Amino acid sequence: MIYAEKNGEKVLPKKGETANCPLCSQKVIARCGLVNVWHWAHEKEECDSWYEPITKWHLDWQSNFSENQREVVIKDKFFQSGKKHIADILLPNDVVIEFQNSTISAGEILEREGFYRKMIWVVNVEKASHNISLSHNKLKIDNCSLYKWLWLRRCWRVAKMPIFLDFGDDFLLYVKELKNDYHVEYKYFPNSYYYWRAEYNMLAVPVSKNTFLAKYANVTQCPKNAPHAAQPSQA
Ligand SMILES: [Zn+2]
């Protein structure tokens, strides 16, 4: 996490400092190295079971939202279970935005959607961008085009909440539907098993990042390399 608590304030990590975790109130230590994004870490294990290491990609997204909307502790107000999690962004209309960089299981997708109720996924697919392409079929349904997703991360098929795929450029792909039909190819490799590649169909529509942010963050600019206070200066 980028924010911890100190004297009731949200604080960014600073070399040699400690603060408290906003979720469990335990001590957290500022990790200000040269490789990873500067962050706060617990002495032992991270307390949020949905913890994901923060990356520059997260920071760039977060920087488009006001500080009080970033890393907000959400309590389970529906079942009063006492569970708490840190949402990446909480919008004033109670919608959570989760920026997902690492792999996630279908179970956790469902769990998070059930917990937050109203949420949007932004998924980093930059490394998989070569696997996602517009279909040659010019089919359009409700202004959505048909796309092919080779090696679709199938966990996303369970998601009920809106998914925006981030390719690392100026456009997101808003996924309207991950379809059940897919194309499978079989190949044979010498001394090896059959190998298959599966290409899934998806109905989606490109949305510019600026449009996304104008809608959700009330800002019109999405700087590619957003500056943030907690990064070491490049030596
Ligand atoms: Zn904690």
Write the pLDDT tens digit of every residue in 70-80. 999 999 877 77
Please check whether residues 17 and 91 belong to one and the same domain. no
Average pLDDT on 45-67 reads 93
Which tokens hold the place of 207? 């949305």
Please check whether residues 96 and 203 belong to one and the same domain. yes
Please check whether residue 235 lies inside any domain of the structure: no
Give the range of the structural domain holding residue 30, as residue numbers without chain letter.
1-47
pLDDT tens by residue, 3-37: 999 999 999 999 999 999 999 999 999 999 999 99
Which tokens hold the place of 120? 């949007």
Please check whether residues 33 and 105 belong to one and the same domain. no
Fill in the DSSP letter of residue 36: S
Please check whether residues 43 and 146 belong to one and the same domain. no
Q: Residue 51 above 80 pLDDT?
A: yes
Confidence band for 193, pLDDT divided at 50, 70 and 90: low
Please check whether residue 155 lies inside any domain of the structure: yes
Average pLDDT on 210-235 reads 55
Give, in order, the Cα–Cα distances in Å from 126 to each of 111, 129, 132, 165, 233.
Answer: 25, 5, 10, 9, 25
Please check whether residue 121 lies inside any domain of the structure: yes
Please check whether residues 88 and 123 belong to one and the same domain. yes
Closest listed residue to residue 212, CA positions, set 171, 159, 178, 175: 171
CA distance 125 to 213: 18
Average pLDDT on 85-103 reads 94
Please check whether residue 80 lies inside any domain of the structure: yes
Name the one residue in this structure whose structure tokens are 């943030």. Answer: 228
* Beta-carbon count within 10 A of 87 CB: 21
State what percent of residues in the chain have pLDDT above 90: 59
Alpha helices in the chain (DSSP H): 56-62, 106-116, 209-216
Confidence band for 218, pLDDT divided at 50, 70 and 90: low
Give 21 Cα–ligand 1 centroid separation in angstroms: 5
Please check whether residues 180 and 122 belong to one and the same domain. yes
Is 175 in a helix, a strand, or coil? strand
Which tokens hold the place of 121? 């996924």
Give 25 Cα–ligand 1 centroid separation in angstroms: 6
Closest listed residue to residue 172, CA positions, set 122, 102, 224, 120: 122
State what percent of residues in the chain have pLDDT above 70: 87
Give, in order, the Cα–Cα distances in Å from 195 to each of 40, 150, 189, 190, 191.
Answer: 43, 14, 7, 11, 12
Count of the separate structural domains present in the chain: 2
Please check whether residues 93 and 135 belong to one and the same domain. yes
Count helices and strands in the chain by DSSP H and E runs: 3, 15
For residue 207, the model assigns a pLDDT of 93
Average pLDDT on 44-62 reads 92
Which of 82-91, 157-166, 176-185, 188-197 is predicted least confidently? 188-197
Give 221 Cα–ligand 1 centroid separation in angstroms: 33
Beta pairing partners, 199: 150, 183
Please check whether residues 41 and 61 belong to one and the same domain. no
Please check whether residue 145 lies inside any domain of the structure: yes
Please check whether residues 104 and 197 belong to one and the same domain. yes
Give 103 Cα–ligand 1 centroid separation in angstroms: 22
CA distance 52 to 144: 31
Average pLDDT on 160-178 reads 93
For residue 189, the model assigns a pLDDT of 66
Average pLDDT on 44-66 reads 93
CA distance 177 to 168: 21
Give 44 Cα–ligand 1 centroid separation in angstroms: 10
For residue 217, the model assigns a pLDDT of 80
Please check whether residues 102 and 205 belong to one and the same domain. yes
Give 71 Cα–ligand 1 centroid separation in angstroms: 12
Please check whether residues 1 and 103 belong to one and the same domain. no
For residue 194, the model assigns a pLDDT of 60
Using CA atoms in the order 222, 226, 230, 233, what is the torsion angle rounded to 10 degrees?
180
More confident residue, 139 or 126: 126
Give 45 Cα–ligand 1 centroid separation in angstroms: 8
Q: CB–CB of 164/205 below 8 Å?
A: no
Q: Residue 231 above 80 pLDDT?
A: no
Average predicted confidence (pLDDT) for the chain: 85
For residue 38, the model assigns a pLDDT of 95
Q: Residue 96 above 90 pLDDT?
A: yes
Q: pTM of the full predicted structure?
A: 0.85
Average pLDDT on 107-123 reads 95
